[in-house]
Amino acid sequence: MTSASNPVSPASRNSQPYRIVLTGGPGGGKTTAADLFRREIGDSVVVVPEAATMLFSGGFPRAESEDGLAAVQHAIYHVQRNLEDVQAARYPDRILLCDRGTVDGAAYWPGGGEAFFESLGTSLEEELERYDAVLFFETAAAGQISIEGGNPIRTESLSEALSLDQHLRRLWSQHPHFHLVRHANSFFKKITFGLAHLESLVGQFQDGNGTDVQS
């Protein structure tokens, strides 16, 4: 796992609860990891569901034109942000496990990520500061393994999934507490490795130090 240089300090936002974002390219296993960890840890954590999946599974239309794609990503951003804030208000004493975060939309934005943040009146640095740690699950497409089956809303090809994974990593790796869970031929081993690191991050917060683990 890696940690980025030139860190942005999430501690400067001085807000609770502690937020860990689980992200990565399509077919990385993040949603499975979040669900398994919630079952294992119980009431000390609460999952913030993925906004895009909620919207698309509820009938929100997809789009192919640039204006349509921009409108979709605006909607996802605002839903994601408000889902996090609702869960934080409902469970102020729990750790939030965010299935994706507000930075993700930049990887899907037509014309590049900087335009995404400008259109929303924010910045990459400001959005990174919403989170205390990032656990990035590399897509199975990195090993040329099918990403079908995990999420019926997913439509990406292997090449598209790999491209998104790389773009997302470039964005999220600028967070000072960025951790990479690489693709493994054994999905069980990958999830076990990711869960162990997630447990370590949660344990640090519960112990009261909130510091990073280097590995």
pLDDT digits (tens, 9 = 90+) for 160-176: 888 888 999 999 999 99
Mark residue 101 as left, alpha or beta (left: phi above 0; alpha: psi -120 to 50; beta: remaining). beta
Rounded CA-CA distance 126/134 in Å is 15
Q: How many CA atoms lie within 13 A of 3 on its CB side?
A: 13
Flag the least confident range among 4-8, 119-123, 159-163, 188-192. 4-8
pTM over 0.85: no
Name the least confident of 53-62, 128-137, 141-150.
141-150
Contact indicator for 140, 184 with CB cutoff of 8 Å: no
Using a CB cutoff of 8 Å and minimum separation of 24, what contacts does 200-209 make? 201/20, 201/133, 201/135, 202/20, 202/41, 202/44, 202/45, 202/95, 205/18, 205/95, 205/132, 206/44
Closest CA to 197 of 134, 148, 112: 134
Q: Is residue 97 within 8 Å of 22, Cβ to Cβ? A: yes
The structure tokens listed for 158 are: 């292997």
Q: CATH homologous superfamily for 10-207?
A: P-loop containing nucleotide triphosphate hydrolases (3.40.50.300)
- How is the chain split into domains, by residue range? 10-207
